[in-house]
Amino acid sequence: MVMLELENMKSMSIAVVERDRAFKRELKTKEPVIMSTLETVRIFLTEQPLEGLEKLYQEPRELPPEERAQNVTRLLRKQAEEVNTEWEKLNLHSADWQRKIDEALERLQELQEATDELDLKLRQAEVIKGSWQPVGDLLIDSLQDHLEKVK
């Protein structure tokens, strides 16, 4: 029963590892889009004249065009920084999760190896036990010899 539970746990762990690897692959495929978008915002902010920015951002109250353009610039920078920060956090959390999964799988494999070793020793002990004479058939004179074999 323990062996079956260990096999089930190992299968589930391998499935989690595979799902996490698929997630990491998906992150890697999206990374160029995220980085490209952030670079586009950066380039836009450096190349866009202030007069062009003021048309993109309309405030409820009238502000001078230069101040409105500065507000748009701040808003875009803030949003780009937030996207970058969240992207970095996502990658850090993903790496941490992968490390934890790898550690758990390693411990599970060590447990599986220990269980296999114990199973082998148990089978060997059962073979030895099978060669024992029934206690009723033992002679008092040979009892010490039998005890030495058991050790």
Contact (Cβ atoms closer than 8 angstroms) between residue 54 and residue 68: yes
**Total-model pTM:** 0.56
Helices 65-130 and 2-47, packing angle to 10 deg: 160
For the stretch 12-55, pLDDT in tens is 777 888 888 888 888 889 888 888 888 888 787 777 655 555 55
Overall residue count recorded for the chain in this entry: 151
**Residue-level pLDDT at 43:** 82
- What residue has token string 């058939």? 137
